[in-house]
Amino acid sequence: MYQGNETIVALATPPGIGAIGVIRLSGDDAITIADKIFKGKCLSEQATHTLHFGKIADGERIIDEVVASLFKAPKSYTGEDVVEISCHGSQYILEQIINLCIDKGAVMAKAGEFTQRAFLNGKLDLAQAEAVADLISSESGAAHQAAIHNLRGGFSHELKAMREELIKFSALIELELDFSQEDVEFADRTQLYNLINNLITHIQKLISSFSLGNVIKNGVSVAIIGKPNAGKSTLLNALLNEERAIVSDIAGTTRDTIEETLNINGILFRLIDTAGIREHTSDIIESIGVQRSKDTMKKADIVICLFDVNTATPKELDQQRREVQEAGAKYLLVGNKANQLGVENAKAEFGTEAFYISARDKHNIEQLREELYKRVTSGNINTEGTIVTNLRHYNNLKEVGRSLAEVKAGMDNNLPGDLLALDIRRSLHYLGEITGEVTTEDKLDYIFSKFCIGK
């Protein structure tokens, strides 16, 4: 078991005022330290997984009435003795109790240290520990679903199964090396070849799930770009279903970018309304806004090119499309105010690639939402399977894929076992790094430092 030697303490709930605040202690002395400040039953004598009402006191001075929850090693989140003190959620009380714990011998926990200990004690593997952080920060249904799948070990099981099969073969091949004089083959080459092929397909599937995983975890930025008065702010409001941005018939109404989030079927979209782009404006503030719009366009995942079907020309539209393409963003052409000209007339003039709406009359807005969703998910998200959402995992999977491709190429060229073994070992290493079976202390510290304090 991991020897944490020090007992750590931290606030587990968000700082600030709340009905309840929870302070967590973990380590060999967690219960003894709690007993020193807890007036009630002696916690050391109580059974694990029990709750106890009592008071926290600094000598004679009562600080709060609390409930202490007791989790004895190894049946706790960290695998160590854990005491959670639920007190009233006052900043003052929370600070006092934490300070008291430190006085009695605890040390302040580092970011992610509880989860790091859980990992070191074998409660979770590394991919699961990272899923804890993702779960806490999940803001949409899809992000939550992916994180809970990984936390429950879905991804880890897949990787473990792959690793075990590879280990079996690498052991056989290495055994052959011991008998190199005798020219024997313990590892059936056809079987190995099939295995490598299957693994490559599997890894490739995981790798390609990352573009969706990234969308799920970080959301999608959608910039609404177009000439003044095209109806960009009206469209933002229609998509959000609230009067968020000011709308007027004065060209140049929106001067700064406005950002709001919209959840479509569990995916988070960050909609950005921008200042209408016109090239020659003498207004300094407007021209700063225009520059900002262009920058926003470059950073967006999807650009909605909005045009007024009654005033735009196909030539203008082509130019707008070219600009967005040069910026490297996906674009969606949307013709607005189609109610005036009529959708069929608009199609005849601007083509069928564009999507025709009326932002003001909320015509075709639901369809536009669906279209946005389809653009990033290519239809349905299958939340049952594993979706890779973590950049570190993604990078490692690419390395695994590369090493396996080397094994395959080596077999195609009849390379000797020792060379195959090298590439197999390399792919095992990268697989093992994801779940933390092989990893260095520095790397662990880095990964856990990105967690919040108290987790």
Ligand X SMILES: Nc1nc2c(ncn2[C@@H]2O[C@H](COP(=O)(O)OP(=O)(O)OP(=O)(O)O)[C@@H](O)[C@H]2O)c(=O)[nH]1
CB of 242 to Mg ion, least distance (A): 15
Is there a contact between 7 and 105 (Cβ–Cβ < 8 Å)? yes
Query: Two tokens at 358?
Result: 């009326």
Of the pair 120, 272, the CB lying nearest ligand X is at 272
Binding string, residues 262-291; x marks residues near ligand X by CB under 6 A: -------------xx---------------
Which of 249, 279, 412, 442 is close enough to bind ligand X by CB under 6 A?
249
Residues 143, 135: Cα–Cα separation, whole Å: 8
Residues lying near Mg ion in the complex (CB under 5 A) are found at 232-233, 253-254
The tally of CA atoms less than 13 A away on the side-chain side of residue 388 is 23
320 binds ligand X (CB under 6 A): no
Q: From the CB of residue 176, how many other CB atoms can be counted at a distance below 10 Å?
A: 19
- Closest residue to ligand X, based on beta-carbon distance: 276
Of the pair 320, 435, the CB lying nearest Mg ion is at 320
Of the pair 65, 361, the CB lying nearest ligand X is at 361
Of the pair 55, 362, the CB lying nearest Mg ion is at 362
Residues 253, 247: Cα–Cα separation, whole Å: 7
Residues 150, 420: Cα–Cα separation, whole Å: 31
Identify the burial level of 83 via C-beta atoms within 10 angstroms of its C-beta, where 0-12 means exposed, 13-18 middle and 19 or more buried: buried
Residues 208-237 that bind ligand X (CB under 6 A): 226, 228-234
364 binds ligand X (CB under 6 A): no
335 binds ligand X (CB under 6 A): no
360 binds ligand X (CB under 6 A): yes
Which of 253, 265, 287, 383 is close enough to bind ligand X by CB under 6 A?
253
Of the pair 89, 276, the CB lying nearest ligand X is at 276
Query: Two tokens at 221?
Result: 């930025």
105 binds ligand X (CB under 6 A): no
Is there a contact between 336 and 357 (Cβ–Cβ < 8 Å)? yes
Distance of CA 113 to the CA centre of its chain: 20
CB of 275 to ligand X, least distance (A): 6
Of the pair 229, 386, the CB lying nearest ligand X is at 229
Strand order in the sheet with 18-26: 38-39, 50-58, 61-71, 82-89, 18-26, 8-11, 107-108
- Residue 336 partner contact from ligand X, Mg ion, none using kind-dependent CB cut-offs of 5 to 8 Å: ligand X
Distance of CA 158 to the CA centre of its chain: 19
Which residues bind to ligand X, rule: CB under 6 A?
226, 228-234, 247-249, 251-254, 275-276, 336-337, 339-340, 358-361
